[in-house]
Structure 1
Amino acid sequence: MDIRTTPNPLVRAAGRLLRRLNSRHPWDHNAHFHRWILRSLPEGATRALDVGCGRGELVRALAGAGLAVDGIDPDQEMAYVAAQRCRDLPAVAIRRRTLDEHADEMLARHPEGAYDAITLIASLHHLELESAIARLRALLRPGGSLLVVTLTVPRTAADTLWDIGNALTNPLIGLVKHP
């Protein structure tokens, strides 16, 4: 059972309650990893790609660290929000496109690799793994870093319990961080 898609009315009601709590005390578990990514950038990095850039928060953080940043997201609304959020940053380009579309264009211009760092937060699970890793590797310059924070689909009872625990603790962390 996947608690995110179950038709169970009790679980759905609990999900609505958790969403209300999260909206009152927001905590973005993806943003929690931005400091790790910034600390993990290779020395001398000048250019980064954020795959599945969402609303552009990590793109802004990378640009703030002095990198030229490309952000891509296949979702039109997310790409628009990111582009609006980053419009004041001249070294940032946001595009609505897939990894394959972006890789095709960039590798035609930079066959040796275009980026010192490539980041994916909660987006790798949306891609076909082997193909994506091959494309990401090709986009990296020699010595570049692939920095990934990913999600997994719950497949066992233990996975589901872990998922439930995370869903319950998110609003608590939000309450502590944003009372």
Structure 2
Amino acid sequence: MPGYFGAMASLSPLHRFHQRHPWSHNDHYGPWVVGRVTESGARHVLDVGCGTGNLIALLRERDAAVTVTGLEPDPATARTAVERFADDPAVTIAATDFAGRPAQRRWDAVTLVAVLHHLPLAPTLRELRGCLAPGGRLVVVGCYRQAGPVDLLAALPAVLANPVMGLIRHPARAAAPPPHMTAPTAEPQDTLDDIRAVAARELPGARMRRRLFWRYTLVYDAPAARA
């Protein structure tokens, strides 16, 4: 996973264990993301970098009235998502990146899970703000570059919990990673402090938190329409 492999490269036994008992750090936060979307009352959702559609499936299970547009630039991963939701008219999968989204459309909620670090931070946050309908919500689960002793100390609980979660989520040894963990990844370049500073400028009022498993979360609510 982004962040995990970079931070834990020196801990090769842990890395090998994760390969034998793979589980998705991103999917771990799926229910949290769905909760933030549904509590906002969103009806039309854009999922940027949707992968094989695990988050979309959770959204549709939680709220049958929600419609979801998923963007996935990796062709093979996008094909898997298209096939998965072929019989669901409320889901649209587009084999494109964020730049290929419908330019004039606005959504009630936009989600990004382990995607933002693939994109230029400040311009993307600015464009994401513009994708929201009045009162819409942006929900991000992101990866950050570790820098300094505070980040290393904060990572220790994840180092200890990661193998335990692997045994719980995937007790049998895996011959290969599951399909939803095979999309291209990248190491994050921005530190948590960098991201906080840019978010404060581009998304006034956004709430950010450091999270377990080398992640942070960000929630931003766009201003409501004026009466």
Which residue of structure 2 lines up, in the alignment, with residue 51 of structure 1? 48
Q: Which amino acid in the other structure matches residue 149 of structure 1?
A: V
Aligned match for 1:172, one of 164, 169, 185: 164
CA 1:83 to 1:160, structure 2 compared with 1: closer, same or farther past 3 Å? farther
1:19 is the counterpart of 2:19: yes
1:70 is the counterpart of 2:62: no
Which residue of structure 1 lines up, in the alignment, with residue 185 of structure 2? none
**SS of residue in 1 equivalent to 2:29:** helix
1:75-154 equivalence runs, <5 A: 75-102=74-101, 105-107=102-104, 110=105, 114-154=106-146
Segments of structure 1 that go 5 or more residues without pairing to the other structure are: none
1:56 CA drift (Å) = 0.4
Task: Please list the CA deviations of residues 16-36 of structure 1 after superposition, one character each: whole Å capped at 9, or x if unmatched.
Answer: 23311x23xxx4332222222
Q: Do the aligned residues in 2 keep the contact of 1:18 with 1:168 (CA within 8 Å)?
A: no
Q: Which amino acid in the other structure matches residue 132 of structure 1?
A: T
Which residue of structure 2 lines up, in the alignment, with residue 39 of structure 1? 35
Q: Which amino acid in the other structure matches residue 90 of structure 1?
A: P
Q: Give the paired residue count.
A: 165
**SS of residue in 1 equivalent to 2:60:** helix
| Backbone CA RMSD of aligned residues | 2.5
TM-score w.r.t. length of structure 2? 0.63
Q: Do the aligned residues in 2 keep the contact of 1:3 with 1:11 (CA within 8 Å)?
A: no
TM-score w.r.t. length of structure 1? 0.78
Partners of 1:3 and 1:173 in 2: how far apart? 14
State, as a whole percentage, how many aligned pairs show the same letter.
Answer: 35
Q: Which amino acid in the other structure matches residue 148 of structure 2?
A: T
